[in-house]
Amino acid sequence: MPVIRKNLKVALIQHACSDDRDQNVALISDKIEQAQSAGAKLIVLQELHNSLYFCQTEETRLFDLAEPIPGPSTDQFSALAGKLGVVIVSSLFEKRAAGLYHNTAVVLDADGSIAGRYRKMHIPDDPGFYEKFYFTPGDLGFKPIQTSVGKLGILVCWDQWYPEAARLMSLAGAEMLIYPTAIGWDPNDAEDEQQRQREAWVTVQRGHAVANGLPVIACNRVGHEADPSGHSAGITFWGHSFACGPQGELLGVAGKSEENLLVDLDMARSESVRRIWPFLRDRRIDSFADLQRRYIDDI
């Protein structure tokens, strides 16, 4: 019997941010409505979309940007999801308790309910990306979130580089992998180095799609954000949000300016691809115990 196609239109909302939270939310809300009008049923927002990327410096006052979940942002985006009948993947600075904060993706279902959340597991600590100062590593594991449009494997930014994270989401039944992202260049890097970095970012995620037989959605921010401390040239977020199918085939790629990228996913394609490339069948799980070690240095 032929495979029945089940198409899902997805919108990736790529935009620049300001230091005005309400202005950002108003902009995002308008873009969500535009995406819904264009037929999108799943709308993916970029990492920490309510504010500037504050992790360029370590400032205790910036913990004031965090909020509880449920809280103001989930209330606003839940109401919008319910009004428009769409699923929204948001990315928030979560205040779990005094002194305990997470980088958290929250999924709002089409009926306005909170379908679930994912707390970023891999936390970077590099010049310009001082996230370990702000975020406690996630403790919810790699568990897909069931929604009205499918089972979503949500991961966040730095998680993109880890095949283990993508694999565990896949093994738990995710129907797609989704990465809200805030990644960019040091403006002082040479152009060829900038291009290598961006291509590596695209390539590794397309590899996750191929290795797991799943579509991948990566939504990145755009625009230059200055370093408030003045110690660096800031970050130029490169945009280039994209979606690819389960063989890594590119379905849509955004540019480096604000854009609603619309793509169509064939939700039946993963089944067809996995039948001809049965990677899950042939995994040697009896020989993978060393993956739980930091490094194998006794051979």
The residues annotated with a catalytic role in the active site are 47, 120, 157
The token duo for 242 is 């994209």
Burial of 266 by CB count in 10 Å (0-12 exposed, 13-18 middle, 19+ buried)? middle
Say how far apart CA 54 and CA 70 lie, in whole Å.
22
Residue 183: phi and psi, rounded to 5, are -135, 140
**Beta strand 259-266 with 42-45: parallel, antiparallel or unpaired?**
unpaired
Terminal alpha carbon distance of the chain? 51
Bridge partners, 14 (sequence order)? 259
Say how far apart CA 148 and CA 42 lie, in whole Å.
10
Question: Can you list the positions of beta strands (E) in the chain?
Answer: 7-14, 42-45, 87-97, 100-108, 114-119, 125-126, 129-130, 145-147, 150-154, 176-181, 184-185, 216-220, 222-225, 235-238, 242-244, 250-253, 259-266
Report the half-sphere exposure of 64 (CA within 13 A, side-chain side): 6
Say how far apart CA 41 and CA 39 lie, in whole Å.
6
Residue 126: phi and psi, rounded to 5, are -135, 160
Within the chain, how many helices (H) and strands (E) appear? Answer: 5, 17
Say how far apart CA 102 and CA 123 lie, in whole Å.
10
- Smallest Cα–Cα separation from 54: which of 186, 221, 179, 226? 226
